[in-house]
Amino acid sequence: MRQSNYIIEREKGKHLKLGARKIIAHLYNKQNKNYSEIAREMNCHRTTISREIKKGLTTFKNADWSDREVYVPEIAQGVYDE
């Protein structure tokens, strides 16, 4: 298993920034990692990742009209800003 370059230092109790949300999007959407694996790489609790992904989860249609759920960091940032 290869070591990821995404491990970031983040103070406990601080909010996620858009850059961290983009990293979460890549790990969740492209690399198909689960909450625990993402949390380990982001240096936070898996519940934080779970809540974050629920904030920015949206449904897209594939070419064959099947649905797929994708995490969009800009939507999650908008929810946070409100």
Is there a domain that residue 1 lies in? Answer: no
Is there a domain that residue 43 lies in? Answer: yes
Residue 18 has pLDDT above 90, yes or no: yes
For 30-48, give one letter per residue: b (16+ CB within 10 A) or e.
eeebebebbbebbebeeeb
Name the percent of the chain lying above pLDDT 90.
71
- Please compute the mean of the pLDDT values over residues 58-81 and round it to a whole number: 92
Q: Please tell me the predicted confidence (pLDDT) of residue 1.
A: 46
- What's the domain range around 52? 18-79
Is there a domain that residue 10 lies in? Answer: no
CATH code, domain with 41:
1.10.10
Domain count, the chain: 1
Q: Which long-range contacts (CB under 8 A, 24 or more apart) does 29-37 make?
A: 29/70, 29/71
